Structures are given as structure tokens and as C-alpha cells.
Amino acid sequence: MNSMTTLTSQWLPICTVDNLIPNSGIVALLNGESVAIFWLPHAETKLYALSHLDPFSGAEVIGHGLICESKGRWSVASPVYKQHFDLETGQCLESDEIKLTCYPVRIHNNWVELQNTQAKSQLAHIQSKDTL
């Protein structure tokens, strides 16, 4: 159990904060997956990270979508076929079955950091094995 806790708390520095673009996205590679990171300087939660891969088009584009707000809820619109994804949960607003992976993201010492999710999915794997 102890070793697993150390794995989940592993944060990877991605880039310095001056790379962020206000009210828009940048894209990072994390263990072979591409992750879109959005910065909303005026919102309550300022940083969000979601999968960059658009499940509708199969193209890596989510990080280039427009940030939208509706009734206090923030989402990003895919530039290809314009579906919206909740920034908090990754839920597609147009289709119940579709959800983008969300990644923990933070600013630490002037660096944007993503949590090492490979470790996280290992953890999930181990946990499910445990329950078997």
C-alpha cells in the first residue's frame, strides 16, 4: 500500500507557466498520451487537463477548442464537430456515453505539472486485482 501511495503522488513538470495561454489550451505529452491543459485566469478553478483526443473525429484537437461557460459550468467545444466536454468531469454534454479522461493538474514552483497517470492506472489495476 505504501509503495502505491508514492506512485499516485508523482507529479511531472510539463512547462513553465508562461507557456499557458489565457482562456485557451496548450497540449502536452504524458506517457505517450496527449493531454490538453486549459487556463482560465478568472474562473474559480483555474487549471484543467483533459484528453486531447476527440472521440468523435479520432483526431487530436481538443486542446484547440473554444472555452465555453453555461450556468456556471465550464466546457470546451471540439473544433471538429463542435461537441462540448465538461472541463471538470470530461463528460460530453451532447452524449451521455462519452467522457474524456481527466488529469490532475497543478502549478508548482512556477511549473505546470501533471500527475503521472500511468502510475494511477497501475493503481487502479492493482486495486481491481485485489478485489478479485
Partner 1 sequence: MKKQCVVIGNGMVGHHFAEKFLESSMLNEYDLIILGAESCRAYDRVHLSEYFDNADPKHLQLGDEQFYSEQGITLRLAEPVTHIDRDHQRVITEQGEYPYDKLVIATGSYPFVPPIPGRDQAHCLVYRTLDDLDAIQASANEGKVGVVVGGGLLGLEAAHALTKLGLDAHVVEFAPRLMPVQLDAQAGHQLKRKIEALGVKVHTDKATKAIVQGDQHRLKMCFADETSLETDLIVFSAGIRPQDRLAASAGLALGEKGGILVDNHCRTSDPSIYAIGECAVWNHQQFGLVAPGYTMARVAVSHLTGDGEVTFTGADMSTKLKLLGVDVGSIGDAHAVTPDSLTYQYSDELLGIYRKLVISPDGKYLLGAILIGDNSYYDTLLQYTLNAIELPEYPETLILPVTSQTAPTLGVSALPLEATICSCHNVSKGDICEAMNDGAVSLSDLKATTKAATGCGGCSTMVKNVLEYELEKRGIHVDKSLCEHFNYTRQELFHLIKVEEIKTFDQLIERHGQGGGCDICKPATASMLASIWNEHVHEPALVGLQDTNDTFMANMQKNGTYSVVPRIPGGEITPSMLISIGEVGKKYNLYTKITGGQRIDLFGATLDELPLIWEELIAAGFETGHAYGKSLRTVKSCIGDTWCRYGVQDSMSMAIKLENRYKGLRTPHKVKMAVSGCTRECAEAQSKDIGVIATEKGWNLYVCGNGGMKPRHADLFATDLDDETLVKYIDRVLMFYVYTADRLQRTSVWMENLQGGLRYLREVVIEDSLGLGEELESRMQSVVDSYQCEWKTALEDPSKRKRFRSYVNASQPRRATIELIEERGQMIPARNITEEELA
In whole angstroms, how close is the CB of 81 to partner 1 at the nearest point? 8
For residue 122, which of 27, 10, 35 has the smallest C-alpha distance? 10
In whole angstroms, how close is the CB of 126 to partner 1 at the nearest point? 28
Phi, psi of 2 (to 5 degrees): -60, -45
Residues shown for the chain: 132
Interface positions with partner 1 (CB under 8 A): 14-15, 19, 21-24, 26-29, 34, 40, 42-43, 54, 56-61, 64-72, 74, 77, 79-80, 82, 84
In whole angstroms, how close is the CB of 100 to partner 1 at the nearest point? 15
In whole angstroms, how close is the CB of 4 to partner 1 at the nearest point? 26
Comparing CB distances to partner 1, the nearer of 29 and 124 is: 29
Comparing CB distances to partner 1, the nearer of 59 and 124 is: 59
Rounded-to-5 percentages of helix, strand, coil across the chain? 20, 40, 40
Comparing CB distances to partner 1, the nearer of 104 and 126 is: 104
- DSSP state string for 60-85: B-GGGSEEEEETTEEEEE-TTT--EE
